A and B are shown apart, each in its own frame.
Chain A
């Protein structure tokens, strides 16, 4: 083990705000290195220290450029900002092209900004299995705001609602009409909606379409039902959004910076609401539940898959057994 991997030394240096130590800790955590267990245990103590802002929405909507603007906004306030930007890993080669950093290079040498690009490494849904561990490292580093940027697969990216305190859904005037906004998925979990590229034609209509579609949701909102602890751990369990917060729709032009101040105020208002209503506590609990779920899914699925042998696949080919029977045997063994 290299000296810099001594866990207690790394932990102390991260807490002192050393970027090199945070970078090394992040590598150990996302590589799921055995040495990361002790780090994760320690860094979890910082969980909940930062406002975690999730930025999601379709590819090309301007998530990274908008993130760059938010960094600028928070830096003006003197806050330390952490960014975790997720891009997809190739399911074929395992390789990844991580290009989000390119859009935020103006902050590259600012000592108050720490940016890490993460590859999804086989997870679908816009995030990566180790996202919580990575967040806790940045919380321990002293970041007051952490921006988590999702892959941007769009419509089914709902896991972000179990990771972030405030979910920003970014779209553009060119992304379709009210019907698109009525579809299930990522749009259901947005706390704040941004029509980016507001310098393009159709901005007012896009804002109106979004407001109208969100209004339909309020009209039909059923009271939040009771979810048992079992339900909390299932993949589909994203708690219904409380109806007292009406998700604001805000127009921005990330390239010029237009609308960013307003977006910043909205994000502050949401944070204020989370802490004043107790919903913040509920969300944090939901996040911890999701962190546990990610951990279990990863271990259980991997352990079961490790037991699949070449011979069992041959048996399937020969129709000597079937996938369900084989699966049951694997779980019994």
Chain B
């Protein structure tokens, strides 16, 4: 009877409106059997954290193409922790240089995916991280 599903929030913090990448991810995760909540563009870290809490998601995916990821991704992690969501898996995507990825990892963003990442890789990553825990 138990019908546990992996739920993922996909959000775009910041001001850029380029949401095609986020929508492609949403679609790929849906087709992989996840329940995906998409909150649209121009979200503040507080809005994303509140949505993650109320929706009871297992992971939060952030998409950002404006270059503000070093500011906004850690802000989202902080907002999540403020809500008590300390264990939330946070991952990201966008135009993010490799050297930033390491710094983001230290700031609580588990992994970033650059342009051209096969969708399968992201699905496998989430399954690997969350199926065991589920």
Contact = CB atoms under 8 A, between A and B. Distances in A.
- Interface majority SS (helix, strand, loop, mixed), chain B: mixed
A31 B1 CA distance: 8
Contacts of A20: 53, 83-84
Interface string B39-54: 1100110110011011
Given A96-B35, A97-B36, A105-B47, A116 B54 contact: yes
The 3 closest A-B pairs by CB, nearest first: A27-B56, A95-B30, A108-B47
Interface of B: 1-5, 26-27, 29-40, 43-44, 46-47, 50-51, 53-56, 83-84
Interface of A: 19-20, 22-24, 26-27, 31-34, 89-90, 93-99, 101-102, 105, 108-109, 114-117, 119, 121, 298-299, 302
A33 B47 CA distance: 28
Contacts of B26: 97
B37 A117 contact: yes
A109 B44 CA distance: 10
Nearest to B32: A95
B37 A101 contact: yes
Given A33-B2, A97-B38, 8 more contacts: A89-B35, A90-B33, A93-B31, A96-B30, A98-B38, A109-B44, A114-B54, A115-B55
B53 A19 contact: yes
B40 A19 contact: no
Contacts of B55: 23, 98, 101, 115-117
Given A101-B55, A102-B39, A117-B37, A33 B30 contact: no
A127 to B, nearest CB: 15
Which residue of A114, A119, A299 has the most chain B CB atoms within 10 A of its CB atom? A119
Given A26-B56, A101-B39, A119 B1 contact: no
Contacts of A93: 30-33
A121 B54 contact: no
Nearest to B52: A23
A80 to B, nearest CB: 13
A95 B29 contact: yes
Contacts of A117: 35, 37, 55
A109 to B, nearest CB: 5
A33 B4 contact: yes
A24 B53 CA distance: 9
B83 A119 contact: no
B23 to A, nearest CB: 9
B62 to A, nearest CB: 16
Contact of A95 (B35, B38, B40, B44): B35
Contacts of A97: 26-27, 30, 36, 38
B2 A98 contact: no
Given A109-B50, A121-B3, A24 B34 contact: no
Contacts of A114: 54
26 contacts: A19-B54, A20-B84, A23-B56, A26-B56, A31-B4, A32-B2, A33-B2, A94-B33, A95-B31, A95-B34, A95-B35, A95-B36, A96-B35, A97-B36, A102-B39, A102-B40, A105-B39, A105-B47, A105-B51, A108-B47, A109-B44, A109-B46, A114-B54, A115-B51, A119-B5, A299-B1
